[in-house]
Amino acid sequence: MKKDIDFPEVEGVQVAIARRKNEKQEYEWFAYLLNTKEIDLYNVIITCRGYGEIAGEARATSTLRYFFEFVPALSSYLIEPLSPEVFVLSSEYWVSYYIGDKIFDKKFVFTPELIKQADYKYIKQIDLEGILQ
């Protein structure tokens, strides 16, 4: 049972929504996994979904799952490209991974209010600006 599993606190693993300009000088958006720990992660599973309301009607995106067998220390991985049209919904990234024989688990939620241009910050690890959780 899940209640019987000890889930240690997640530290040093983050999700970023960041943008970069393409060759047409238009912004493209991406979600990234950042491992700021000095230790490798194994068997990383990320479940992504969007949910919320548009014009008073409940909406949800498809649930997508990604698997990375190995995420090296002090690295970043592209999770998925994003369409700005989904920024009216909350975007959820549920990240689970192993360090040794311990499982770690954390949910990162980016609400529409979080994704505002005034809130973008430079994220050194991926050399892009965006929102980091």
The CATH code of the domain that includes 50 is: 2.60.40
End-to-end C-alpha distance for the chain, whole angstroms? 28
CA dihedral 31, 37, 40, 43 (to 10 degrees): -40
The predicted structure's pLDDT at residue 15: 98
Q: What percent of the chain has pLDDT over 70?
A: 94
In total, how many domains does the chain have? 1
116 burial (CB, 10 Å; 0-12 / 13-18 / 19+) is: exposed
Q: What is the DSSP letter of 25?
A: S
Task: State the Cα–Cα distance between residues 77 and 102, nearest whole angstrom.
Answer: 21
Three-state DSSP at 71 gives: strand
123: confidence class by pLDDT, cuts 50, 70, 90:
very high
Task: State the Cα–Cα distance between residues 128 and 106, nearest whole angstrom.
Answer: 23
Are 76 and 41 in contact by the 8 Å Cβ rule? The answer is: no
Could you list the residue range(s) of the whole structural domain that residue 94 is in?
A: 2-108+117-132
Q: For residue range 23-72, list pLDDT tens digits in order.
A: 999 999 999 999 999 999 999 999 999 999 988 899 999 999 999 999 99
